[in-house]
Amino acid sequence: MASTTAHTGKATAVAAGNGGVTTPEAHDSARCGVLPARQWPNIQVEPEDLPAPGEAVEDLETPVLVVDLDRMEANIRFVQAYCEQLGVRNRIHIKTHKIPQIAARQVAAGAAGITVQKLGEAEVFAASGLGFDDIFLPYNLLGAAKLRRLRAFLERYPGIELSLTCDSTVVAEGLSTVTRQVGRRLKVWVECDAGLGRAGVTQPGHALDLAGAIERLPGLTFGGLMSFTADAEPSVAFMTAALAVFRSAGRPAPEVTMGGTRQLRWVEQVPGVTEHRPGTYVFHDRQTVLQGGWSFDDCAGTVRTTVVSRPTAERGILDAGSKAITPETMGLDGLLGHIVEYPEARLYRLSEEHGYADFSAYPEAERPQVGDVLAVVPNHICTTVNMFNWLVGARNGRVEVVWPVAARGRVR
Ligand SMILES: Cc1ncc(COP(=O)(O)O)c(C=O)c1O
């Protein structure tokens, strides 16, 4: 399609299939788009210098994402014990850290398998060789390319139990086709929207209908009901109604898997709940502190950042912008993170490479100096981690380990 500007009469390409009319820019990007990857110029750069074990955290070049291992391990232990006390399986969600070595610690602590959000994450965790043999993927997988990858995954990892969700027969039919190709059954859960307004069937009766459809499709087994909802009340209402609908249809009570760190506070109220999928709890963040009742002392992940400028008496500019700290405000107070050393400071803006902080809450003499290094707890740790190639695991102020964020960017 081409549009013609009224003033100049010149044609401008606005999309592919433009009838042969192209701007030089569009032509260039089209050429780049068809260039096979192997013909890309081979750019030579020195490998990045990684921190060494034993190095002092305070000496690390910034911005750098540092995880306090004592806090992380305490978080893992706490939630594991909590789920055991509630009698629900703890199926941890790996999308927070995307690091197989951390998930292995969560499984060693007692987690009942892992949750991934994307097939690409499942591929990375399966390939890690760390023994993740029970993977739940609560996402609608559909389309020829995705189902080809699902088939390849199932063929490559016959020992891994992969279960999935759907909220329509379109998705279930695609999954059923794959089971025929690989000669292997798949457990499929029904995703329920109990009030988040995201994917999922919105009526308990539809959950029953879809469960029946799953069972009628060759190769599929109905797993139960899956939900991820912010609030207790609609979750309890939905699952109460869903269990009643299953009961009156003469069916056994389905398993129920719920999710979320904040939701741990009330998950035991949900009738029939058998499993929970917390992710963020492993590191926590400003959101779980402000909305979930955790404390900044629970926050294991911080972005260490240098004050690179003090242009005014109040303002400090940090070397971590929106490419190192998520710019998501998460429905909180509009601020973009918590500065550990200056809890009353306001991190009020992020441009790509600059963080803008207002230190006016402190007497001038106490405000940070150019060159000081500060630690920021981001609003949302999961999307922050996804911006880093690796993170540092530290204990008592010293680097213990550097982990690649192995499934970083695996959005497909
Ligand atoms: C389906 C599903 N389950 C579990 C979780 C884990 O939630 P949280 O990271 O808040 O613990 C998420 C988070 O986005 C999710 O989408």
Ligand 1 pocket test, candidate residues 76, 94, 117, most atoms within 8 A of CB: 117
The arithmetic mean of pLDDT across residues 207-228, rounded, is 98
- Do residues 367 and 255 both lie within one domain? no
CB of 384 within 6 A of ligand 1: the answer is no
The arithmetic mean of pLDDT across residues 108-129, rounded, is 98
3-class secondary structure per residue, 172-230: HHHHHHHHHHHCCCEEEEEEECCCCCCCCECCHHHHHHHHHHHHHCCCEEEEEEEECCC
**Domain-embedded: residue 32:** no
31 vs 364, more confident: 364
CB of 277 within 6 A of ligand 1: the answer is yes
- Do residues 313 and 238 both lie within one domain? no
Range of lowest pLDDT (28-37, 140-149, 383-392):
28-37
- Do residues 328 and 241 both lie within one domain? no
Q: Which of 252, 284, 316 is the last residue of a domain?
A: 284
- Do residues 175 and 246 both lie within one domain? yes
For residue 193, the domain's CATH number is 3.20.20.10
CB of 229 within 6 A of ligand 1: the answer is no
- Residue 30's nearest CA partner among 42, 46, 44, 13 is 13
**Domain-embedded: residue 6:** no
- Do residues 89 and 235 both lie within one domain? yes
- Do residues 91 and 204 both lie within one domain? yes
CB of 279 within 6 A of ligand 1: the answer is yes
- Do residues 198 and 136 both lie within one domain? yes
67-114: pLDDT as tens digits: 999 999 999 999 999 999 999 999 999 999 999 999 999 999 999 999
pTM: 0.90
CB of 261 within 6 A of ligand 1: the answer is yes
For ligand 1, atom 7: residue with the closest CA = 260
CB of 204 within 6 A of ligand 1: the answer is no
- Residue 212's nearest CA partner among 158, 169, 165 is 169
Residues 139-175 as b/e (b if ≥16 CB within 10 A, e otherwise) read bbbbeeebbebbbebbeebeebebbbbbbbeebbebb
277 Cα–ligand 1 center, Å: 7
- Do residues 221 and 337 both lie within one domain? no
Range of the domain at 269: 72-284
332 Cα–ligand 1 center, Å: 18
Look at residue 40 and tell me whether its pLDDT is greater than 70. Answer: no
**Domain-embedded: residue 115:** yes
**Domain-embedded: residue 346:** yes
CB of 278 within 6 A of ligand 1: the answer is yes
CB of 327 within 6 A of ligand 1: the answer is no
pLDDT at 34: 59
Look at residue 2 and tell me whether its pLDDT is greater than 80. Answer: no
**Domain-embedded: residue 48:** no
pLDDT at 48: 87
- Do residues 268 and 299 both lie within one domain? no
Peptide bond into 63 cis (omega under 30): yes
Q: HSE, CB side, 13 Å, CA atoms: give it for residue 80.
A: 17
**Domain-embedded: residue 23:** no
Average pLDDT, the chain: 92
Q: Which of 250, 284, 318 is the last residue of a domain?
A: 284
- Do residues 61 and 78 both lie within one domain? no
Q: Which of 284, 319, 334 is the last residue of a domain?
A: 284
Query: Which residues neighbour 133 within 8 Å (Cβ) at sequence distance 6 or greater?
Result: 113, 159, 160, 161
**Domain-embedded: residue 17:** no
**Rounded-to-10 torsion of CA 13, 16, 22, 23:** 60
385 Cα–ligand 1 center, Å: 15
Binned at pLDDT 50, 70 and 90, residue 147 comes out as very high
The arithmetic mean of pLDDT across residues 54-78, rounded, is 98
The arithmetic mean of pLDDT across residues 164-170, rounded, is 98
CB of 138 within 6 A of ligand 1: the answer is yes
229-261: pLDDT as tens digits: 889 999 999 999 999 999 999 999 999 999 999
- Do residues 213 and 316 both lie within one domain? no
**Domain-embedded: residue 93:** yes
Q: Which residue has the tokens 């088939």?
A: 151
| Token pair recorded at residue 213 | 């459809």
150 Cα–ligand 1 center, Å: 22
Ligand 1 pocket test, candidate residues 82, 95, 196, most atoms within 8 A of CB: 95
- Do residues 329 and 279 both lie within one domain? no
How many domains, in total, are found in the chain? 2
For residue 400, the domain's CATH number is 2.40.37.20
259 Cα–ligand 1 center, Å: 5
For ligand 1, atom 10: residue with the closest CA = 260
